[in-house]
Amino acid sequence: MKTIKFNGESALPAIGQGTWYMGENAAQRGQEVAALQAGLDHGLKVIDTAEMYAEGGAEDVVGEALRGRRDQAWLVSKVYPWNAGEVDAFEACERSLRRLQTDYLDLYLLHWRGNVPLEETIRAMQSLQQQGKIRHWGVSNFDHDDMLELWNEPGGNACVTNQVLYHLASRGIEYDLLPLCQQREVPVMAYCPLAQAGRLRQALFEDGQLQQIAQQKGISVAQVMLAWVIRQKGVLAIPKASSVAHVQQNAAALTIDLTHEELAIIDRAFPAPQHKTALDVV
Ligand code: NDP
């Protein structure tokens, strides 16, 4: 099984669970809770959420799913950039903890860069750590130069991850950001590993070459995409699934290896970047 380590912690399965769009619809809540719990049963320990998702609604769903089993999860939430100052971050974190029905986060991320100076956000993260409210902190949607800037700030080296968009049809981070993070041993959390829902995802699921690889291995295209994302060291995928069947497939992808030939087919169909491109975001 592929695993990942944050800051020398014990190894975690390299596939976790996303939660964007959970908590939007009361009628789906039971199914979402059941899917997250099934994920935990299958060892998908890392659960990624944010105060932004359903304006706290996704954190509520996660809180319900974790009732009585908080210690089985490695819990990640994110702060809005405009809440990432010293006073606001404390209050935002308190609200997230209340909704999540826990007294600590394993990881707290700055959701994207905003107007609060990085040094102030680092100080806020440090005080939350000292208060025991968060164990680690990191960033999201930071490009190559943002990471260099962060590491130059006092305390910036304590950042344990950068969460960015990455899937086989969006490989921009492979040009410079991913190698930089790998070199510094900062794991990358890959969001949208299944290209979300929508036209692009549909086109990938219908792609003849991906379908052929999937058929030959007796797996789904989604599993090919996840196995591809976690094929390299230091990358964790956080697919969101709101059905138990999807969660089971996603967990099974932890042990799927793509052969050199299969990787070469994917490289030809979805080439690695040859030059710098703007960081892809949603
Ligand atoms: P994903 O790429 O994870 O795609 C989610 C879609 O894939 C859903 O429609 C889901 O359907 C479907 N799906 C899941 N598993 C399978 C499967 N095995 N077979 C077929 N379809 C499947 O997109 P997300 O945008 O949700 O990204 C993942 C997570 O990353 C988010 O939920 C969030 O936690 C995080 N994120 C972070 C961002 C950031 O700025 N830091 C930005 C965007 C996302 P269903 O729900 O019906 O199971």
Predicted local distance difference test score (pLDDT) of residue 10:
87
Does ligand 1 come within 6 angstroms of the Cβ of 53?
Answer: no
Q: Is the CB of 38 under 6 A from ligand 1?
A: no
Atom of ligand 1 nearest to the CA of 226: 18
Q: Which residues of the chain have pLDDT under 70?
A: none
Distance CA 249, CA 23 (A): 22
Identify whether the C-beta of residue 103 lies closer than 8 Å to the C-beta of residue 135: no
Instruction: Give distance in angstroms: CA of 71 to centre of ligand 1.
Output: 24
Q: Is 246 in the pocket of ligand 1 (CB under 6 A)?
A: yes
Res 8: pLDDT = 80
In a mutational test of the pocket of ligand 1, which residue from 163, 240, 282 has the highest number of ligand atoms less than 8 Å from its CB?
A: 240
Q: pLDDT value at position 251?
A: 98
Query: If residue 212 lies in a helix (H) or strand (E), which one and from where to where?
Result: helix 208-217
pLDDT reported for residue 141: 98
For residues 125 and 108, the answer to whether their CB atoms sit within 8 Å is yes
Task: Give the model's pLDDT for residue 239.
Answer: 98
Distance 272 CA to ligand 1 centre (A): 22
- In tens, the pLDDT along 107-129 reads 999 999 999 999 999 999 999 99
pTM value surpassing 0.85: yes
Burial class of residue 221 in the structure, from the number of CB atoms within 10 Å of its CB (0-12 exposed, 13-18 middle, 19+ buried): buried
Cβ-proximal residues to 231 (8 Å cutoff; 6+ apart), any chain: 257, 258, 263
**Residue range 115-169, pLDDT digits in tens:** 999 999 999 999 999 999 999 999 999 999 999 999 999 999 999 999 999 999 9
Taking the CA of residue 49 as reference, the ligand 1 atom at the shortest distance is 34
Is 83 close to ligand 1, i.e. is its CB under 6 Å away? no
Q: Look at residue 282 in the predicted model and tell me its pLDDT.
A: 92
